[in-house]
Amino acid sequence: MTYKPTQANDVRVLAPGTRFQVLTPSNSTALPTWVRALHISAAGNLVFRNTSSGSDVSLGAVPAGTLYPYAPQFLGASTTATVVGVGSTQEY
């Protein structure tokens, strides 16, 4: 399935998450398209690919319990945080 970033006015973006999965960082394997938020379950650095510009964003020392409403295409291999993808059961 082709990666499609979600639109802010899409009801699936606003609905509560119903699917959760620990994500494996990789610079070459795209995240599942259903991921629409990132939950940090163990503190560490977070690196992800900005889908609009294609550049990497790096956030250092992200505390556990943080929820980012981001839907990146890739979770960088240099990510040290444990990251759980939050989304819906329907891919879009």
31 CB-near residues (< 8 Å, 6+ apart): 23, 72, 73, 74, 75, 85
Give the pLDDT score at 30.
87
Retrieve residue 50's tokens: 């900005």
Retrieve residue 69's tokens: 């409403």
pLDDT at 8 over 90: no
pLDDT tens, 15-55?
A: 667 778 899 999 889 888 778 889 999 999 999 887 778 78
Quick check: is 22 in a domain?
Answer: yes
1 or 64, greater pLDDT: 64
Quick check: is 67 in a domain?
Answer: yes
* Counted domains in the chain: 1
pLDDT at 12 over 60: no
For residue 75, the 8-state DSSP code is B
Give the pLDDT score at 46.
93
Quick check: is 34 in a domain?
Answer: yes
Neighbours of 62 (CB within 10 A): 19
Q: What is the pTM of this model?
A: 0.74
How far apart, in whole angstroms, are the C-alpha atoms of residue 45 and residue 52? 21
Mean of all residue pLDDT scores within the chain: 80
What range defines the domain where residue 53 resides? Answer: 17-87
